[in-house]
Structure formats: C-alpha cells, structure tokens
Amino acid sequence: MTWAVCVKNDGFEASLELRKLYRIVEDETSAQRACIRVIDESGEDYVFPANMFQPLQIAHNIEEQLEALA
C-alpha cells in the first residue's frame, strides 16, 4: 500500500483535507495522465491531479498500523 499527503486541495475542499494522509490506489491509466487515484473523505477512490499530493515512503510497521485504522 502506498500513501500520499495532500499538499493542495483547490477546487476539492469538500473531498480533500490539506496535510492529511490518503491511501493511493494503483492506476496506470491515471498515472499516464499526471493524475493519482486516492481514497478520499467519502471512503471511495477518485482521481485527482497528482500535483495535489506528495507520495510518502512509510516504514512497514507504521503502514500496518495505518492500514488497521482504515
């Protein structure tokens, strides 16, 4: 599982919170279009511009704890 932090939410304030961690859903089609698919505030996965997020490398034990909260 890969995670990203929201660094910009212009136009998507209801769906994305700044500085919040979001789970990335792998999607090659979106990546080819400079987009990223994440699970947003609704609990569903949606595509957003990739420049709105900064992907993170998270230690395995922390990632397991985050996954347990999801």
pLDDT along the chain (70 residues), means of 10: 91 92 94 93 90 91 82
CATH number belonging to domain 2-69: 2.30.30
Identify the pLDDT of residue 61: 86
Distance CA(28)–CA(9), nearest Å, equals: 22
The answer to whether the pTM exceeds 0.85 is: no
Amino acid present at 64: E
pLDDT at 22: 94
pLDDT for residue 1: 58
Residue 49 near residue 35 (C-beta atoms within 8 A): yes
Measured torsion, CA atoms of residues 12, 36, 56, 23, in degrees rounded to the nearest 10:
80
As a whole number of angstroms, the distance between CA 4 and CA 19 comes to 9
Q: Is 11 helix (H, G, I), strand (E, B) or coil?
A: coil
The confidence score (pLDDT) of residue 64 equals: 85
